[in-house]
Amino acid sequence: MVITVVCDVYGEENNGTIVAENNLIRHLKACGHMVRVLCSNQEYKGQEGYYVVPNFNFGKLLNAYVKKAGVTLAKPNKDIIRAAFTGADHVHIMMPLALGISSVKIANEMGISVTAGFHMQAEILTSYLKLNKIKPLNTAVYRFIYKHLYNKVEGIHYPTKFIRDVFESKVKKSTPGYVISNGVHSYVKKRQTSKPDELSDKIVILTTGRYAREKSQDTLIKAIKYSKYKDKIQLILAGAGVKEKYYKKLGKKLPIAPIFKFYSRTDIVDVLNYCDIYVHPAQFELEGIACIEAITCGKLTIVSNSKLSATKNFAVDDRCIFKCRKPKSLAEVIDFWIEHPEEKKQIEEKYLQSAVNFNQDECMKQMEEMIIEVHNNHLQAKENAIGTNKTN
């Protein structure tokens, strides 16, 4: 098949959505499909198989903010979209943003089968505007993207049942959904890795992800201050983002300065394996690949109890869950596991066993099957419509 993947955000693998779309693209190519990429990353302009639209220009200040968040946003161009779709059998849209919304209209007009991934939680978007507590606004976002994208596709990929349930409850509609994890690559696995010499006598606590409000890394930094073991804890915040300056200011209050660093996809696996505890404090999370990677490495993984985060469902023991946005609650959980090393080993084994559900090869196989099934159903519906017209 010729499959066009529409990526409003595309480039360096610095967030879960970009990792997910590259995983899908690589898998589909490996299976023999011809894959086209429609995006706005100007670095790919002129390269075979890439159709590059312009970027939105928000002005100097907003452009700098968007860039610091690690993304560029696509500005739709109908001629380029049509070129990317001409001769394609199927279109898969990654995000319900401007390029995706324009793409679904054109794909529908051209009679091409369409699926879309659900990779944008409304609360994450509104949190950037500090409006996430306004529930009617979050509901309005869900209804907007349903009306302009998800109501116009023939299959929706939900990374978790959690986000499918949230979305369908907000739009009050049943959708043609497929719940498939984005999965974790086979190179992310448990292996014996020694701590660097300078960390050998430290309790290493790791969190990974964009430095952003919804990820709530500030809760973790504050929690270390309340820990009985704060003089021994080396906190590592792996990532980058708009909150870096604020987090570094918070980190200065700790006895041991946190490490702020963006690691490559392979280097972070070493850190995952030598850390003692992994914490995923996010308030909003529709899947949480970073959390799943820690689980796949057999790490004691602590998550928040946020009702708006899927990661609480990954905990294999209630003692691995803390009260969302409550640093003292998190400190208590951290201290418990530091003080119970034998029980910690047992729980880590449970986490490792649960990782079988996130095998990326199997997940990507399910994604390919979804696309083929939707495409075949689309063709069958066309044939049925032609037959009905002939009969009439």
Q: What is the DSSP string of 234-254?
A: EEEEE---TTHHHHHHHHTTS
Residue 391, pLDDT score:
66
* pLDDT above 60: residue 66: no
Which of 316, 384, 311 has its CA nearest to residue 354?
Answer: 316
Distance between CA 31 and CA 24 in Å, rounded?
A: 11
272-316 residue pLDDT tens: 999 999 999 999 999 999 999 999 999 999 999 999 999 999 999
Q: At a CB cut-off of 8 Å and minimum separation 6, what does 247 contact? A: 211, 217, 218, 221, 237, 258, 260
Token code pair at residue 191: 């292996």
Which of 8, 123, 107, 95 has its CA nearest to residue 55?
Answer: 8
Cα 296–chain centre separation: 16
Could you tell me the sign of the dihedral formed by the alpha carbons of 150, 151, 157, 160, in that order?
A: positive
- The number of beta carbons lying within 10 Å of the beta carbon of residue 181 is 21
Helix (H, G, I), strand (E, B) or coil at 302: strand
Distance between CA 279 and CA 285 in Å, rounded?
A: 14
Using pLDDT thresholds of 50, 70 and 90, give the confidence band for residue 157.
very high
Q: Model's pTM, two decimal places?
A: 0.90
Q: Given the DSSP bridges, would you call strands 277-280 and 203-208 parallel, antiparallel or unpaired?
A: parallel
Contact 258, 251 (CB under 8 A): yes
Domain locations in the chain as residue ranges: 2-183+359-391, 197-357
Distance between CA 136 and CA 170 in Å, rounded?
A: 10
219-237 residue pLDDT tens: 999 999 999 999 999 999 9
Please give the mean pLDDT across all residues of the chain: 94
- Choose the CATH number for 2-183+359-391 among 3.40.190.10, 1.20.1530.20, 3.40.50.2000, 3.40.50.12280: 3.40.50.2000
Domain 197-357, what fold? Answer: Rossmann fold (3.40.50)
Contact 272, 163 (CB under 8 A): no
* pLDDT above 70: residue 70: no
Q: Do domains 2-183+359-391 and 197-357 have the same CATH topology?
A: yes
Distance between CA 364 and CA 233 in Å, rounded?
A: 38
